[in-house]
Structure 1
Amino acid sequence: MDIQFDKDHLWHPYTSMNNPLPCYGVVSAKGVQLELENGLQVIDGMSSWWSVLHGYNHPRLNQAIKDQVDKVSHVMFGGLTHEPAIELGKKLVSLSPKGLDKVFLADSGSVAVEVALKMAIQYWQGRQQPQKTKILTVLNGYHGDTFGAMAVCDPENGMHSMFEGSLNKQIFAPAPITPYNQPLCQQDIDNITQAFNEHHNELAAMIIEPVVQGAGGMRIYSPEYLTLIRQLCDKHNVLLILDEIATGFGRTGKLFGADHAGICPDIMCVGKTLTGGYMTLAATLSTSEVASGISDSPAGVFMHGPTFMGNPLACSVANASLELIMEGHWQNQVAAIESQLKLGLAPAAEFDAVAEVRVLGSIGVLEMVKPVDMASLQKRFIELGVWVRPFGKLIYIMPPYCINEAELNTLIDALITVARES
């Protein structure tokens, strides 16, 4: 493997070309194990950026792609359709919070967010309120790297602050601070209520990551906050968009983050885990009312259409992944992971270098007192037999559901070791 060519010519995510972070070559993967080019086996604690649900090289997911490639690998979705897309639509409508019954199949999570924002704005054009064009969100959020998505990411502490001058100005409320299992504090109530009271006439929608703010800080907050914003959206005639790209399909211990609060959004984005981590695919779901408003807009149609929308290969493997979800084993798997993470990571709370330990579902987080050195920690984790990619002050894991107790203990021990050494 020509790692030097990779270093000299291939741009990796969030990496300088002048002084790139080290890259480790992967030659194969199975279950939760990655085999590196030097022969080392490491346990993947990241699920390839939270996307691999059932493990690598899963026989049923492999077979789904093999079967489909002999039929049709791709066909345009404009004016044509196919069985994998239809079946995927049925599964998504069946699994999602009741009321979401229209499905737009997109390319990636960022595109799904772009689609959701455009849906919200175009909906109000169809309801004769074209002044409603602004999006309300909260600080510490992350929704993707494209321009519309960047505009609703944290404008100051987020990774996209350097583009602020080129982004549409949206409206930000303070991030919720109430912990997951506590009653909603008055400060959270007052902050978000004030934002709605001041801006509702111009608001098309509010967008938020339910229960867990991911790349903006792995912050876990009270489901009562979701209940409140659903009520405020209804009161003030504002659409609610839930970004379930990181939280969907069981990651938080519920099938969707919305399920922690028992609410249904007007629009919902899913991605990452949709294909079990095999291919890029996302979806934006909406209610019939949203779809009707868009259809009543001056354009008469929704103005978005990716070339690879509804790709048959991606839809086929997504169907196989969702079939595994529908069999229900994920519930016991995630519950077991959560219990083991809570027990195993608890000692880190006593370390001077650790500010807080957080666990929800299959997500385990050590927030450090100071920012970490990503390159040196990645190297140390490799030495400990695991793949973990920290960022900022956060060292966290989000393993595939199929991880066994011994493999998870190896990940936990590695986190404890690194935290103790910090």
Structure 2
Amino acid sequence: MTEHHALWFNALTTKTSPEDVRDRALVSGEGCHVTDAAGRRYLDARSALWNAGLGYSNTAVADAVRAQLDQLPVAQLIRHDQPPQVSLRYAERLVAVLPEHLRHVRLCSTGSQAVEGAVFLSRFVRILQGDPDRSQVIAQHDGYHGIGGLASAVTGEPELHELHGPLVPGVHHVRPWDMEELRTALDRIGPGRVTAIILEPILGTGALEAPPGYLEEVQRLCREHGVHFVVDEVSTGFGRTGTLTVTEELGLEPDMLLLSKAISAGYTPLAAIATTAEILAGALARPDVVFPHGSTADGNPVSAAAGLAVLDELADGVVLENVRARGAQLTAGLAALPSVLRVRGRGLMLGVDLELPAEAVAELRLRCREAGLLVSTAGSTVIVTPPLVITAADCDELVGLLAVCLAPVTA
């Protein structure tokens, strides 16, 4: 199929895509809608890949990007000592809105890179402390932490592991939200060999939320054994659940907090590893040794400018209130549809479990696209993650379109 396109992208390898997708290529967007090359308009209930938090026509972010392109379009943070001023300002603004114990941020380009950076940073600190054998990591099955040599190893999807071949070793997985299995794994590996436990507060693979008290107990366990507690909020952070972070909402104090996707509204690549002062001190313990992680575009001025604009857009709380209100509206509307077993998640990170086989739900996704609604699916679940600025009318449209598309599938 790839012979029809110079661009190789993942959808070309799926059985549900025609050989030529040029007429479906997206050409414009406004609000929560996108339009393809054939003029068809879609309500995007997946926010691109969960990152178009402010929709497709936010003038504040777009203007900030344009202004920065005119002033200083390129700079770097990896070497030497002249960071872009806008990146310094962004870091200061970002830590000001994060939980108080997180005082420093390392800027990256993608969520996967932030995950890898966090694990490498945890191991790096142990090495400088003279404890290099403390390198093992515990993550969860069905957790999603991106794709890459180490990120894929942390992601809890066995199929992905098989397709990637040998991955970075030292990562162990336990069942989601199973405290007994987590304790057993910690004892089996040896608490003194585990450097970090990393997890999402809501699983990105299906909007499955941690049960009450679980995250707090993991944090307590980490404190007891000196393990770094890493919370991955690449998907949930910056408004997706109706709060800036689930971490702050629950009063958690992780050693590292990972952010990406919505922090730049998806307009530019941006991610962040927020750390405690203790983690930074550990990484700077030897002035002659620099933390060996980063890439050319990390913390670039254009992305930092976009990040600043997003902070401004979220500052008055209006967007977050909209997420809570529209999330409640969608939850009620979706729960009333036929074949819906339950609606999970919070805010605008929802999983709609259907009483249908996975094959029928895959067909439903295609029917939705033909009807003008873009959704994601995972097994028998429809994932609904629209932009944070979705309107009440948009929500009515979303529920109505899904109802129409469900009818022939459930008949």
TM-score by length of structure 1 reads: 0.89
Shift of 1:383: 3.3
Letter in 1 for 2:143: G
Contact 2:150 / 2:167 at 8 angstroms: preserved in 1? Answer: no
Letter in 1 for 2:197: M
Which sits farther off after the overlay, 36-45 or 229-238? 36-45
In the alignment, which residue of structure 2 is the partner of 1:189? 179
In the alignment, which residue of structure 2 is the partner of 1:283? 272
In the alignment, which residue of structure 1 is the partner of 2:400? 413
Counterparts of residues 3-402 of structure 1 (less than 5 Å): 7-13=4-10, 15-16=12-13, 20=17, 23=21, 24-77=24-77, 78=79, 79-156=81-158, 158-163=159-164, 165-176=166-177, 188-199=178-189, 200-210=191-201, 212-215=202-205, 217-296=206-285, 300-348=289-337, 351=339, 354-368=340-354, 369-372=356-359, 376-402=363-389
Task: For residues 139-180 of structure 1, give each alpha carbon's deviation from its aligned partner in whole angstroms, at most 9, with x where no partner exists.
Answer: 111101111011111143x5343235444141112111xxxx
Shift of 1:193: 2.4
Quickly say closer, same or farther: Cα 1:221–1:53, change in 2 above 3 A.
same
Shift of 1:17: 7.8
Letter in 2 for 1:360: R
Shift of 1:191: 2.3
Contact 1:133 / 1:202 at 8 angstroms: preserved in 2? Answer: yes
CA distance in 1, matches of 2:103, 2:377: 37
- Matched residue SS, 1:9: coil
Letter in 2 for 1:412: V
CA distance in 2, matches of 1:387, 1:366: 14
Letter in 1 for 2:203: Q
- Matched residue SS, 1:27: strand
TM-score by length of structure 2 reads: 0.91
CA distance in 1, matches of 2:295, 2:126: 23
Shift of 1:331: 2.3
Shift of 1:319: 0.6
Q: Which runs of 5+ in 2 are unaligned?
A: none
Shift of 1:88: 1.0
CA distance in 2, matches of 1:274, 1:412: 27
Contact 1:125 / 1:297 at 8 angstroms: preserved in 2? Answer: no
CA distance in 1, matches of 2:137, 2:402: 38
Quickly say closer, same or farther: Cα 1:18–1:190, change in 2 above 3 A.
closer
Quickly say closer, same or farther: Cα 1:277–1:168, change in 2 above 3 A.
same
Q: Which runs of 5+ in 1 are unaligned?
A: 177-187
- Matched residue SS, 2:257: strand
Which sits farther off after the overlay, 190-199 or 263-272? 190-199
Letter in 2 for 1:31: G
Quickly say closer, same or farther: Cα 1:252–1:18, change in 2 above 3 A.
closer
Shift of 1:355: 4.7
Which sits farther off after the overlay, 164-173 or 81-90? 164-173
Quickly say closer, same or farther: Cα 1:371–1:356, change in 2 above 3 A.
same
In the alignment, which residue of structure 2 is the partner of 1:184? none
Shift of 1:409: 1.1
Shift of 1:358: 1.4
- Matched residue SS, 2:302: helix
- Matched residue SS, 2:213: helix
Runs of 4 or more consecutive aligned structure 1 residues displaced over 6 Å after TM superposition: none
Contact 1:196 / 1:236 at 8 angstroms: preserved in 2? Answer: no
CA distance in 2, matches of 1:274, 1:331: 14
Letter in 1 for 2:183: T
Letter in 1 for 2:179: I
Letter in 1 for 2:175: P
CA distance in 1, matches of 2:320, 2:55: 16
CA distance in 2, matches of 1:194, 1:214: 25
CA-atom RMSD, angstroms?
A: 2.3
Letter in 1 for 2:238: F
Quickly say closer, same or farther: Cα 1:367–1:115, change in 2 above 3 A.
same
Quickly say closer, same or farther: Cα 1:5–1:117, change in 2 above 3 A.
closer
Quickly say closer, same or farther: Cα 1:17–1:246, change in 2 above 3 A.
closer
CA distance in 2, matches of 1:53, 1:173: 31
Count, aligned residues: 402
CA distance in 2, matches of 1:264, 1:170: 23
Quickly say closer, same or farther: Cα 1:48–1:17, change in 2 above 3 A.
closer
